[in-house]
Copies of this chain bind each other. A is one copy, B any other.
């Protein structure tokens, strides 16, 4: 097998502006969730459930409940014409188990990597107005809203760079709207 996972991970950036001419099919979303299904789960309990959206009408129902890019104070999120064309909402089923450990992180990474492979991309969003999203989609109270994965064909440039000497890890946009993401060095992360 050729060494490609690092290339795929490197390409899997957080994208927040999309080319709406690229629709996503429900079959594609199902294939991504199947990748999550086959991933590890704490105690093999598999407590995650998923809501899929690939139609403009349900996409529009989801969008208002998401908060985008906390560090970009002047940017309210993607404008009409550059919004996600699909979503996967990751839920924790409390009737299976009350806690979800980091299962949703494992699942989300599997999904985002599978999306990258299909020429898609997106953003894992945890900053959600949960009450209103729950009401909008009529999500059962036994299902905890963990993450919303916003998906589409990326329509922006994301540049990974080193954290500056100030230590500031906030992402930022330059005058050409390129998105810069400071990442800590490997040396900083290794403590033993």
Chain A residues with CB under 8 Å of chain B are 1, 3-10, 12, 14, 30-31, 33-40, 42-46, 48-52, 70-71, 89, 91, 101-110, 112-114, 116-117, 124, 126, 137, 139-140, 143, 146-147, 160, 169-171, 181-184, 186, 189-192
Contact = CB atoms under 8 A, between A and B. Distances in A.
Contacts of A8: 1, 5
Given A38-B160, A39-B109, A103-B105, A50 B190 contact: yes
B52 A39 contact: no
B44 A181 contact: yes
Count identical subunits in the complex.
2
B30 A186 contact: yes
Given A51-B192, A102-B104, A192-B52, A34 B6 contact: yes
Contact of A6 (B31, B184, B186): B31
Contact of A33 (B101, B170, B190): B190
A37 B184 contact: yes
A184 B46 contact: yes
A39 B108 CA distance: 11
A89 B38 CA distance: 23
Nearest to A147: B102
B169 A45 contact: yes
Contacts of A6: 31, 34-35, 38, 114
Nearest to A143: B191
19 contacts: A5-B5, A5-B35, A5-B110, A6-B35, A6-B114, A9-B35, A30-B186, A37-B183, A37-B184, A42-B126, A44-B181, A49-B190, A50-B190, A50-B191, A101-B126, A102-B103, A102-B105, A109-B109, A143-B191
